[in-house]
Structure 1
Amino acid sequence: MTGTKKFTRLSAAAAAVALLAVTACGGGNNAEGGGDEDSQEQVQLRFAWWGSELRQANSMAIIEAFEDEYPHISVEGEFADWAGYQDLLATQFASRDAPDIVQLDDEFIREYADRGVLLELTDIDTSDIDPTILEGGQAEGVQIAIPTGVNALVMMANPELFDEAGVELPDDTTWTWDDFDEITQTIHEETEAFGTNNPIMQVMRVWARQQGEHLFTEDGQYGLSVEQTEEWFQTLYDWSQAGTLPNASLMVEEESATMEDSLIATGRAALGTSWTNQLPALTTASGVDLVPLRMPSPTGNAEDNGLWFKNTMLIAGNAGTEHPEEVQLFIDFFINTEEAGLHNMMDRGLPINETVRAAVVDQVDAQDQVVAELIDSLGGEITDPEPMLPVGYGAISDSYTRYLQEVMFERMTPAEAAEAFVADAESNLGS
């Protein structure tokens, strides 16, 4: 088919990767301002991402817009479900057959950075991007990826349960952990709903930042002492005894529950820790206009709440590409143009380019608008980025869940669990 734009659907089976080539007709290569196609060398790039069918459609629209702007560059899209994408990408990099442009997650970017397989991005316009967000794609001061958007970890509040308990929603710029304890215990006593849901390890990262530490250091080591880790496990155990947290069995159930079946989505918890981009889906599932709140702080000052901007995902170039200039041209278009932003909307997070963000926010409503306003208000409070996650983070997260369950089922004391967890973390990071 003449002039056809292509994408490839990628999936992973238990022992093999099957590739299926699919074609999709798109716009032509006759846009104004794209230069004289006949006078420029024709360049073929590959761009890979994971995500839903919606993201696939959004990404193909961005590719078509880019090709219209630069007719001498053709981009083939390759997409996969999350479950198969990471293994496939690792295999492709190992065999030196990785796409020119790749979408990456925080959990894996340090591994690629340490292997030196990511292109140093020197020609991307970053003048309209918050430096604290941009640092999320840097390794040892070198820009090797650009975040596509940002999230923040918040507590989603169910105002109906607060009303039922006769408790006012807190001022999230001033509330403390003591306020949190009082609020959640009162709600549990008055409604039988739990105060909050299962505390994922990301909450521990917030707590560490509130202590002036990072759960993982810049050089990829575990950042807390055994005593600090014990204090965290003890706090969670105390919360479970007070009804702030669900009992041990329900916490295990919550670990494997879908977002729609979570405690906050089903009205069984008054507060639910979640990422800001999940607010619209949780609101739909719960049937309640949930209210996102900043995390409590130890001081009552919003600047001490320990939040950071998390990269929803990042876009990077393959250091082995034959076309580094064109790769950076595409990334710049993807990040910095309103046209690309209006195709992405908030699917890859709230855009990091502030001009693009304004254009997107102008087009959203309801809970997406709430998220946008909250992220914007956090900009003056968040000054310290979170270090890049270490290689081995996934195993450490699994270890955290295991030892927290041991504490909740009272098979280990917080002190015993802390000592074992720190040893596991150091072992995983050391290997």
Structure 2
Amino acid sequence: MSISPLSRVAIGTALTLSFALTACSGSGAGSADELSGDRVTLRVTWWGSDSRAQLTNEAIAAFEKKYPDIKVKGQYKDWNGYWDALATTTAAKDSPDVVQMDELYLASYADRGALFDLGKARKLLDTSMFDREALATGQIDGTQYALPIGLGVSSVVINTDLFQKYGVAVPDDTKWTWDDYARIGKELTDKSGGKIHGVSAAPGFYAGDIKYWARQHGGEVFDKDGNVSLKPEALAGMWKYGLGLISSGAGVKASTMVEDLTAGVTAGSFATGKAAMTTAYNTQLTALQEATSAHLKLLQLPHADDTEANFLKPSMYWAVSSQSRHPAEAAAFLDFLLNDLTAARILRTERGIPANKQMLARLQLNLSGPDKAAADFMHGVLQGRPPVVTPNGASGIEPALQRYTQEVYFEKTSPEAAAQAFVKELQGEVDAAK
């Protein structure tokens, strides 16, 4: 399994965060029980594209119409620039009031006191329409520091046109195993005469890969205390499986995997019709559909046994800075973005399938095509409990994993040696942050 990320982490960003936040502590100024009644200005920041900015600004305008005493100034950057800027402003005690947050950095900011306890804003911020499992993804030690905007689950996406063209049957995803996945991948490669590959990648390039693989082998990547509990033998087994995909021809070459990593989900082997199966979040179906112009279908991930290894993955969160002088107004803004139908109709699924069940139910009435397929799929997948939030110090897990994965797939080191080294390095980063 190689799950395309909802977001990516840069090593330099992780270092910037670790350095800049060491001096951070929240001021916690202002009351969150009720609005002040004064004219205030909130600063809101997020990462993303120009299209996301356009939709977010439309939602901001709708909020300002409903709350004429609250002015909202929005700003956005690309992924890497966003985290560098947020770390710098937070260390300088000048953080924006409302921040878009990612799971990889949630604990890092919460543990350093940089985020506001949203439980103190219950009168203004309604969380009743969120499942307990969804709320848990934004909690650290039981405190609600962030609320998920959208949710996704890992899946296999198949190009049914290529399956039909080369006479390969679509598998029953309620029963198939990883051996079936490899066998079908090779069958597609062989029947096409090498014109395509069955599988676009092998597991190990994203943190979601090892979370799923660890669960299938009775473990987790992190334990409840935030220490690394990933079993090296489980990680080594994942890489051995990936090497098998490559050597058999079921999967693309290691060099192509790296090229696909750089190209992104909409320009890789699967998106360009050079592979018939890939792994992705269900929420990426729309982008893949547009890129391929083919008939695509979402399937549940293969599994090793009856373990419910899949889990809800927040696309991103909204959080309030502990440095905000207007936490009540910030909470009201979050409530509008997450709970107001006007905002839901503007933002739709741009940040993922809405985590708010009521908003999703109302949006589903008008969803169609891949958006509807993605929403329907998420509710039909067997899900286990949410994994432990990535602990402080481990936000660089993804680039480290990619480094070791490339060493293994280019046969520069053995799966066993790489697994031992990765676990040791990751635990060292967690220990250093304590």
TM-score, length basis structure 1: 0.86
Report the Cα distance in structure 2 between the residues aligned to 1:396 and 1:45, rounded to whole angstroms: 33
Q: Is the partner of 2:151 in helix, strand or coil?
A: strand
Among 311, 316, 339, the residue aligned to 2:314: 311
Report the Cα distance in structure 1 between the residues aligned to 2:298 and 2:98, rounded to whole angstroms: 34
Q: Is 1:338 aligned with 2:341?
A: yes
Contact 1:296 1:305 in 2 (8 A): no
Matches of residues 256-405 of structure 1 in structure 2 within 5 Å?
256-299=262-305, 301=306, 304-378=307-381, 381-405=382-406
129-138 vs 222-231, greater mean Cα deviation: 222-231
Residue 336 (structure 1) shift? 0.8
Report the Cα distance in structure 2 between the residues aligned to 1:323 and 1:402, rounded to whole angstroms: 42
For residue 187 of structure 1, what is the aligned residue in structure 2? 188
Report the Cα distance in structure 2 between the residues aligned to 1:209 and 1:75, rounded to whole angstroms: 42
Give ranges in structure 2 of 5+ residues lacking alignment. Answer: 1-34
Q: Is the partner of 2:118 in helix, strand or coil?
A: coil
Residue 422 (structure 1) shift? 2.1
Residue 426 (structure 1) shift? 2.2
For residue 223 of structure 1, what is the aligned residue in structure 2? 229
Q: Is 1:213 aligned with 2:219?
A: yes
Give ranges in structure 1 of 5+ residues lacking alignment. Answer: 1-36
258-267 vs 138-147, greater mean Cα deviation: 258-267
Q: Aligned partner of 1:175: which letter?
A: W
For residue 87 of structure 2, what is the aligned residue in structure 1? 90
1:336-385 C-alpha deviation (Å, 9 max, x unpaired): 1111111111011111111111222222221111111111223xx22401
Larger RCO, structures 1/2 (Cα 8 Å, 6+ apart): 2
- Please identify runs of 4+ aligned residues in structure 1 that moved more than 6 A: none
Identity %: 35
Q: Is the partner of 1:228 in helix, strand or coil?
A: helix
1:57-107 C-alpha deviation (Å, 9 max, x unpaired): 211222222222222222221222223111101111101111111111112
Q: Aligned partner of 1:389: which letter?
A: T
For residue 76 of structure 1, what is the aligned residue in structure 2? 73
For residue 27 of structure 2, what is the aligned residue in structure 1? none
Rate the CA distance shift 1:261–1:118 in 2: closer, same or farther, 3 A. same
122-131 vs 93-102, greater mean Cα deviation: 122-131
Report the Cα distance in structure 2 between the residues aligned to 1:82 and 1:282, rounded to whole angstroms: 21
Residue 252 (structure 1) shift? 2.4
Q: Is the partner of 1:264 in helix, strand or coil?
A: coil
Residue 225 (structure 1) shift? 2.2
Matches of residues 225-264 of structure 1 in structure 2 within 5 Å?
225-264=231-270
Q: Aligned partner of 1:157: which letter?
A: I
Q: Is 1:155 aligned with 2:161?
A: no
For residue 110 of structure 2, what is the aligned residue in structure 1? 113
Contact 1:132 1:383 in 2 (8 A): no
For residue 100 of structure 2, what is the aligned residue in structure 1? 103
Rate the CA distance shift 1:322–1:282 in 2: closer, same or farther, 3 A. same
Matches of residues 20-169 of structure 1 in structure 2 within 5 Å?
40-122=37-119, 123=122, 124-169=125-170
Report the Cα distance in structure 2 between the residues aligned to 1:160 and 1:281, rounded to whole angstroms: 17
Residue 295 (structure 1) shift? 0.4
Report the Cα distance in structure 2 between the residues aligned to 1:333 and 1:211, rounded to whole angstroms: 41
Contact 1:184 1:194 in 2 (8 A): yes
Number of positions where the alignment pairs a residue of Structure 1 with one of Structure 2: 389
Q: Aligned partner of 2:179: which letter?
A: D
Rate the CA distance shift 1:158–1:430 in 2: closer, same or farther, 3 A. same
Residue 420 (structure 1) shift? 2.1
Q: Say what the alpha-carbon RMSD is for the aligned residues.
A: 1.9
Contact 2:217 2:234 in 1 (8 A): no
Report the Cα distance in structure 1 between the residues aligned to 2:373 and 2:314, rounded to whole angstroms: 19
Rate the CA distance shift 1:395–1:49 in 2: closer, same or farther, 3 A. closer
1:265-289 C-alpha deviation (Å, 9 max, x unpaired): 1122221111222111111211212
TM-score, length basis structure 2: 0.85
Contact 1:107 1:394 in 2 (8 A): yes
Residue 394 (structure 1) shift? 4.8
Report the Cα distance in structure 2 between the residues aligned to 1:76 and 1:149, rounded to whole angstroms: 23
Q: Is the partner of 1:312 in helix, strand or coil?
A: strand
Report the Cα distance in structure 2 between the residues aligned to 1:373 and 1:85, rounded to whole angstroms: 32
Contact 2:240 2:415 in 1 (8 A): yes
Contact 1:120 1:144 in 2 (8 A): yes
Residue 215 (structure 1) shift? 1.7
Report the Cα distance in structure 2 between the residues aligned to 1:398 and 1:218, rounded to whole angstroms: 23
Report the Cα distance in structure 1 between the residues aligned to 2:240 and 2:422, rounded to whole angstroms: 14
Residue 305 (structure 1) shift? 4.8
1:209-262 C-alpha deviation (Å, 9 max, x unpaired): 222221223333222222222222222112221223222222222221232321
Q: Looking at CA atoms only, which structure, 1 or 2, has the larger radius of gyration?
A: 1
Q: Is the partner of 1:147 in helix, strand or coil?
A: strand
Q: Is the partner of 1:179 in helix, strand or coil?
A: helix
Contact 1:342 1:359 in 2 (8 A): no
Residue 399 (structure 1) shift? 2.4
Report the Cα distance in structure 2 between the residues aligned to 1:98 and 1:402, rounded to whole angstroms: 32
